[in-house]
Structure 1
């Protein structure tokens, strides 16, 4: 049975991010609500749904509202659904760097999403930064320079698997430092702390540019922060934001499930 919902979307910050109230993602939503949620995602880039307690199948169905769930070639898979990837930071390690998901792939993931199962009593929040607004605030001459260079990343998906011991970089992949969003056309920075170098400039220039961009894009001026409770569900635009899991909780528990989404077949950025 399709559930018709009356929901509310509350902005969580002045630039981006929102919480959605009144939508039960444990049941199918009607077409009108699904379209409104897609528009809200385009507008706000990060959406949080509290107290959902999604099963693996429900998590996949929720992501399917926005994109096609992706079968990751190297991720550890949940026994209940192979499109769900379980994480326990005590085994997989923490991701306490500013990063974008799926940089080994071109195009990268359209969205990433998490369902939280266990969280520390205090801390363990997640930060996102709005890479499009960070780009807007750059000078015009600097934007021209950045549009002429790419960033180089490790192209081996094995090196991005949970708990993997990274091998030496072999195959690489390049991504533009300035990305025109395939859905909206809006330009934004597209940079991650794992960038190896920039193309078309000297090594010294590459280091200086990367250091500046990473510092600029992670400024508090562009960030939003969410804390978590078990059952919370969050998804974010992986092409317009980057994220950082704050490591301030010591040996506390942080257990969650991830589902990744890619552009639907037939769209401008289909994979």
Structure 2
């Protein structure tokens, strides 16, 4: 069994994000180390494990350290494990916008994770932005206003499937634009897929929504990671949003995704 607390942590930036080394996630993890890793995740929000080289089953178990893996209703499944979803951007397309995963459900995904299988030699970095730091920098009057505001999204999971042709939006779901995370901090919660804001007038929504999206994507709140095959990353999907930079042209980008989420709320 992996020895307790033998890993090393290297911060990626002053606000959030970290690389963890000297731990083998392919091996069983004892309870004390699990607890410590969960604390690291709550603090840093994005954790990167270089050259983890996890199999599909090992990736699922690594995510299970932090939360329960999610059975996605529309995702294409990996032949080796039903909770693993393979992506090849040459066939599935790229997601080069700031976004939060799983906004079609309540609650959205708590965690997203990737194991990279093939990446371009140059480019293809990923950005994350700290939505809690973005919230902290809002003025108090704006914070008060946003407490009663929600963002509206398409709630049809089929429209979020790989390569899906998004048809007419017939059903929606709303999420408060301010949420309290399990680490005790409030943060913005808004994605570029938002259709409008509720709790304000249409004109106010048209002014507020672009402001929030622009504010949350400020470089002041971001970190950046580049990738090699075998790298494993997971992030707090409820406290950050991310952007996969499309600067690698027709170069390769293949990865496996495992999600985590709590049961849907009625």
* TM-score interval, smaller chain: over 0.9
Tell me what 1:117 maps to.
117
Query: Can you list the C-alpha shifts for 1:164-205, whole angstroms capped at 9, x where unaligned?
Result: 111111110000010111x23311000000000001222221
Tell me what 2:14 maps to.
14
Asked whether 1:198 is paired with 2:197, we answer yes
Query: Can you list the C-alpha shifts for 1:75-100, whole angstroms capped at 9, x where unaligned?
Result: 00001000000000001000001000
TM-score with structure 2 length normalisation? 0.97
Partner SS, residue 127 of structure 1: strand
User: Root-mean-square deviation (CA), in Å?
Assistant: 1.3
Tell me what 1:258 maps to.
257
Tell me what 1:156 maps to.
156
Partner SS, residue 102 of structure 2: coil
Residues matched between the structures, number: 265
Matches within 5 A, 1:207-218: 207-218=206-217
Q: Is the 8 A contact 1:262 1:270 kept in 2?
A: no
Tell me what 1:37 maps to.
37
Q: Separation in 1 of the partners of 2:261 and 2:39? A: 17
Asked whether 1:227 is paired with 2:208, we answer no
Superposition deviation, residue 120 in structure 1: 0.5
Point out where structure 2 has 5 or more consecutive residues left out of the alignment. Answer: none
Q: Is the 8 A contact 2:75 2:161 kept in 1?
A: yes
Q: Separation in 2 of the partners of 1:121 and 1:159? A: 32
TM-score with structure 1 length normalisation? 0.95
Matches within 5 A, 1:94-133: 94-133=94-133
Q: Separation in 2 of the partners of 1:184 and 1:4? A: 26
Q: Separation in 2 of the partners of 1:236 and 1:270? A: 22
Partner SS, residue 58 of structure 1: helix
Point out where structure 1 has 5 or more consecutive residues left out of the alignment. Answer: none
Misfit runs of 4+, over 6 Å:
none
Q: Separation in 1 of the partners of 2:129 and 2:67? A: 21
Asked whether 1:27 is paired with 2:27, we answer yes
Partner SS, residue 144 of structure 2: helix
